């Protein structure tokens, strides 16, 4: 197993940019241009710093990082969800080499402007570590942070675990103590992007990647993190956050969000900062791919012979899914689609195909629609369902229509009549 982000970057193909690069728009330009991981060797204004972007750019890169065969990636991830592994502790970490109290964050952190229409400084590859109150399990989750001056960010909280922790603390008049890490191994990135009940995401990452943690302020922090910010989400202060480009490529709205106040920053010598391009491939993959194992597990409870689950790039890796099943009974295609909609409520379209169709190949999926589907029998519309807040076509009520396309062969079909000879 790789022992750090740094060693992993030596194992993969990386585009290295040696010229000075500004964090104001130029980082984003390079990440749009290259379809591979990009290492920035010279970040303007931050001597000795490096930056990595497009780190989790493809399933191949993620499978390599996790030491999993690409063809069994989703199945292995699904199996690991219920079998996390405890990690060990140590009293030392490389990021303790440098620290500053009550920092001016812009002087230490290479904050970035990603789009000309929103010239606000953001962090995007930041993972927030918190403990379930009052003294429960650890949680790790990605959150974008918008710098509002000195040592303060506005943090975007969606209604998941960290929001629930914050809400509980707020009701009790308390701030939420957090550690914010950046520059970690892809296994920790993937785990932090995963949503699953009662999961310690660090223990999930430990299944695929051997690491230890150090305790600071009662929080477990991976020792090989490049940057660590210690701070608190204030229970009694909010500020405007946004606009921001989300995975649909459209603008997320401005809203009031909690303020995160940083009181201490640690960083490694010659540190590496992780930039995630908003709306880019890495953003989509880190949001979508971790949902697939959870969808797979829930669909398998309904249709045990499910084979593959894929959230498609064209569906923003969030709104459209292709599922293959080895159908044994009529109606299983529809059941698989309904289970997927329940497993991932943001889904808008589910296409169910036979196992001989490669779900990752849009041409093969379209071929199945062309040769195996009769729309009057295979298309099923669900009306008045709650949709994704990321879908700009949903009404103000958040309601949407969803559809299931069952493009599997009928049980009485002569399979040789549908066999491809290419």
Q: For residue 1, what pLDDT is reported?
A: 39
Peptide bond into 188 cis (omega under 30): no
Peptide bond into 243 cis (omega under 30): yes
Q: Does 98 have pLDDT greater than 50?
A: yes
Q: For residue 246, what pLDDT is reported?
A: 85
Q: Taking CA 46 as the corner, what is the angle to CA 40 and CA 50, rounded to the nearest 5 degrees?
A: 25
Strand stretches in 242-331, DSSP E: 244-245, 251-252, 255-267, 272-275, 306-311, 320-325
- Mean local confidence (pLDDT), 387-394: 82
Q: Does 211 have pLDDT greater than 50?
A: yes
- pLDDT band at residue 248, thresholds of 50, 70 and 90? confident
The structural domains of the chain, with segments of one domain joined by +, span 5-279, 290-418
- 101: helix, strand or coil: strand
d(CA 26, CA 39): 13
d(CA 124, CA 287): 13
Helix ranges, 129-160 (H): none
d(CA 287, CA 119): 24
Reading the block at residue 330, the tokens are: 């009529």
Reading the block at residue 332, the tokens are: 């299983």
Contact 179, 228 (CB under 8 A): yes
Q: For residue 333, what pLDDT is reported?
A: 96
Roughly how many angstroms between the first and final C-alpha of the chain, as a whole number? Answer: 39
Q: For residue 326, what pLDDT is reported?
A: 96
Among 270, 276, 182, smallest CA distance to 229 is for 182
Reading the block at residue 233, the tokens are: 């989400």
CB-based burial, 317-329: b 16+ in 10 Å, e otherwise: bbbbbbbbbebee
Q: 373: Cβ–Cβ under 8 A, 6 or more apart, which residues?
A: 379, 405, 406, 407
Q: For residue 32, what pLDDT is reported?
A: 94
Contact 147, 243 (CB under 8 A): no
* DSSP secondary structure of 45-68: T-TT-EEEESTT-SHHHHHHHHT-
The residues facing 349 across adjacent strands are 320, 403
CA atoms within 13 A of residue 17's CA, in its CB half-sphere: 25
Contact 284, 307 (CB under 8 A): no
Q: What percent of the chain has pLDDT over 90?
A: 86
Q: For residue 173, what pLDDT is reported?
A: 97
Q: CATH classification of 290-418 is 3.40.1670.10, yes or no?
A: yes
The residues facing 379 across adjacent strands are 405
Tell me whether the CATH fold assigned to 5-279 matches the one assigned to 290-418: no
CB-based burial, 303-314: b 16+ in 10 Å, e otherwise: beebbbbbbbee
User: Is 217 an annotated catalytic residue?
Assistant: no
Q: Does 387 have pLDDT greater than 90?
A: no
pLDDT of 99-122, one tens digit each?
Answer: 999 999 999 999 999 998 888 999
The residue from 161, 175, 220, 246 that is catalytic is: 246
Q: What percent of the chain has pLDDT over 70?
A: 98
Q: Does 422 have pLDDT greater than 70?
A: no
Multiple choice CATH, 5-279, 3.40.50.2300, 2.30.110.10, 3.40.50.11740, 1.20.1250.20: 2.30.110.10
Contact 100, 108 (CB under 8 A): yes
d(CA 410, CA 418): 11
Per-chain mean pLDDT for the chain: 93
pLDDT of 72-95, one tens digit each?
Answer: 999 999 999 999 999 999 999 999
- Provide the 8-state DSSP code for 358: -
Reading the block at residue 102, the tokens are: 């009550």
d(CA 365, CA 1): 36
pLDDT of 153-192, one tens digit each?
Answer: 999 998 889 999 999 999 999 999 999 999 999 999 999 9
CB-based burial, 121-135: b 16+ in 10 Å, e otherwise: bbbbbbbbbbbbbee
Q: For residue 417, what pLDDT is reported?
A: 64
- Mean local confidence (pLDDT), 119-134: 95
Q: Does 220 have pLDDT greater than 90?
A: yes
Reading the block at residue 216, the tokens are: 């600071």
d(CA 138, CA 151): 24
d(CA 20, CA 17): 8
Strand stretches in 187-283, DSSP E: 212-216, 219-222, 227-241, 244-245, 251-252, 255-267, 272-275
């Amino acid at each position: 197993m790789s022992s750090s982000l740094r060693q992993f970057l030596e194992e993969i193909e990386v585009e290295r940019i040696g010229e000075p690069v500004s964090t104001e728009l130029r980082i984003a330009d390079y990440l749009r241009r290259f379809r591979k991981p990009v290492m920035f060797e010279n970040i303007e204004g931050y001597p000795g710093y490096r930056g990595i972007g497009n780190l989790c750019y493809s399933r191949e890169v993620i499978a390599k990082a996790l030491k999993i065969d690409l063809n069994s990636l989703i199945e292995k991830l699904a199996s690991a969800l219920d079998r996390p592994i405890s990690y060990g502790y140590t009293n030392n970490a490389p990021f303790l080499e440098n620290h500053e109290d009550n920092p001016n964050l812009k002087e230490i952190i290479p904050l970035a402007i990603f789009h000309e229409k929103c010239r606000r400084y953001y962090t995007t590859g930041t993972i927030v570590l918190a403990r379930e109150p009052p003294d429960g399990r650890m949680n790790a989750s990605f959150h974008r942070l918008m710098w509002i001056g000195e040592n303060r960010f506005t943090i975007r909280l969606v209604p998941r675990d960290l929001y629930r922790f914050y809400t509980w603390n707020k009701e009790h008049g308390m701030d939420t103590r957090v550690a914010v890490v950046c520059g970690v191994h892809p296994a920790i990135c993937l785990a932090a992007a995963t949503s699953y009940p009662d999961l310690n995401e660090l223990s999930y990452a430990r299944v695929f990647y051997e690491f230890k943690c150090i305790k600071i302020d009662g929080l477990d922090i991976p020792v090989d993190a490049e940057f660590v910010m210690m701070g608190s989400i204030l229970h009694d202060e909010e500020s405007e956050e946004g606009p921001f480009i989300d995975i649909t490529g459209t603008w997320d709205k401005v809203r009031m969000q909690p303020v995160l106040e940083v009181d201490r920053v640690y960083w490694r010598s010659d540190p590496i900062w992780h930039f995630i391009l908003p709306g880019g491939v890495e953003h989509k993959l880190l949001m979508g791919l971790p949902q697939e194992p959870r969808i797979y597990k829930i669909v398998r409870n309904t249709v045990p012979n499910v084979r593959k689950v894929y959230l498609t790039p064209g569906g923003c890796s969030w709104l459209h899914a292709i599922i293959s099943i080895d159908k044994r009974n009529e109606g299983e295609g529809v059941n698989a689609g309904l289970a997927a909609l329940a497993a991932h409520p943001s889904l808008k379209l589910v296409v169910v195909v036979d196992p001989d169709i490669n779900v990752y190949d849009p041409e093969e999926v379209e071929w199945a629609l062309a040769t195996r589907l009769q729309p009057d029998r295979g298309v099923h519309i669900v009306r008045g369902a709650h949709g994704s807040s990321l879908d700009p076509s949903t009404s103000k009520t958040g309601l949407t229509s969803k559809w299931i396309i069952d493009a599997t062969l009928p049980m009485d079909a002569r399979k040789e009549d549908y066999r491809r000879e290419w």
